[in-house]
A and B are shown apart, each in its own frame.
Chain A
Amino acid sequence: METRDNQGQLWEVFIQSKPGQAFKHAGSVHAYDKNMAIENARDTYTRRGEGTGLWLIPSSEIVAVTENEAEYFFEPADVKIYRHPTFYNVPEGVTNM
């Protein structure tokens, strides 16, 4: 729980710019609770119609893989080149595949 005067805890802001699109990280805000987080994010990040949706997540709840760990973490996928269509040959003249 917040004990020092740090203007609330840190929340990450994700904005959906149009219906149907993915939510994209925009930045962060400080807030004391969920409602305030949503309102602060609206006032800080969407003053010009930037979004049709907002997600707010306490920064401390985010689980992340960083670039430092990326090499060994993503390595298993790197060797499976047969997951890409370009791995395969098709006979001359075949189209629409």
Chain B
Amino acid sequence: MLTQTINEEKLLAEFEAKINAEIKIEPKDWMPDEYRKHLIRQMSQHAHSEVIGMQPEGNWITRAPSLRSKKILLAKIQDEGGHGLYLYSAAETLGVSRDQFIQWLHEGKAKYSSVFNYPTLNWADIGAIGWLVDGAAITNQVSLQRTSYGPYSRAMVRICKEESFHQRQGYEIMWRMMEGTVDQQKMAQDAIDRWWWPALMMFGPHDTDSPRTSLAMKWRIKRESNDQLREKFINKTISQAEIIGLKVPDPNLIRNEDGTFKHGDINWDEFWQVVGGNGPCNQQRLEHHFNVHKEGAWVRESAIAYNIKHTNNQ
């Protein structure tokens, strides 16, 4: 018993020494239970977000205003499916099966980003999502490229390479609308009015209300805190809005002397309502995923049967 404790202490010291030396932790390495649990929660939530996030955008594929925009939207959504797959694979290295991750999602034990529980009402929303929602996700993911867990870090590098087109295509939609008729300009402004705050909420609660942050920062799973990342995003996005004539819907926004910004109060009641399952589309998103998974079971069963038959005939 005593030797076990001493052994654990030694392993923990070695683990932390590696983290401090910026050496990545790999799947077969010893790691504290808390580290593994945190990663399982964070990476599966990240994977589920990529996949569930396909729904609000998928809603507009058949109604894209041109062939060009339809091709772009299809490619973008296909990327998101790919991101989900990179992340599920990376998360599986922690010893949890893909089957289990999906089950936890369906049981409501695993979450996805609450921003995807808002509806996409018109084409301008596709612009706002690419620009703001992907923009916020990129800010977070660029930082996570330096996460201490090797498979997670490598998945982030791959994802970041693909993301920049996502944000640009969204911004281009907004820009074209702002160059268009008064009605189109109103649509674009209405979209940023509805998506701005949910995008800011994507970074999670303020650091003072985020109990798990300190451990995640200590073990370098996260490299920057929620508030730091949110500020980065705000500071780069506001000028992008101004250039095309859009206004950020924050009457209390303050421009600091050094050119950075201080945002007004975030409606955390709304945030917790949506996280708790009471957003406009929570039920729809989860039900859709559940039904498609269930209805597609015969495809997976046939693939197994085909493989067995094929292997036995060899």
Contact = CB atoms under 8 A, between A and B. Distances in A.
Interface of A: 1-2, 4-8, 10, 26-30, 32-33, 36, 43-45, 47-48, 66-68
A50 to B, nearest CB: 9
Given A27-B89, A32-B306, A36-B303, A4 B99 contact: yes
A32 B307 CA distance: 6
A8 B303 contact: yes
B68 interface: no
B92 A2 contact: no
Interface of B: 26, 28-30, 75, 78-79, 82, 85-86, 89-90, 92, 97-99, 154-155, 158, 162, 297, 300, 303-304, 306-308, 310-311
B306 A33 contact: yes
Nearest to B27: A66
Given A7-B99, A66-B26, A67-B26, A32 B89 contact: no
A29 B86 CA distance: 8
B92 A32 contact: no
A29 B28 contact: no
A2 B304 CA distance: 7
A68 B11 CA distance: 12
Kindly name the residue among B28, B78, B82, B307 whose own CB sees the greatest number of chain A CB atoms within 10 A: B307
Nearest to B297: A5
A41 to B, nearest CB: 10
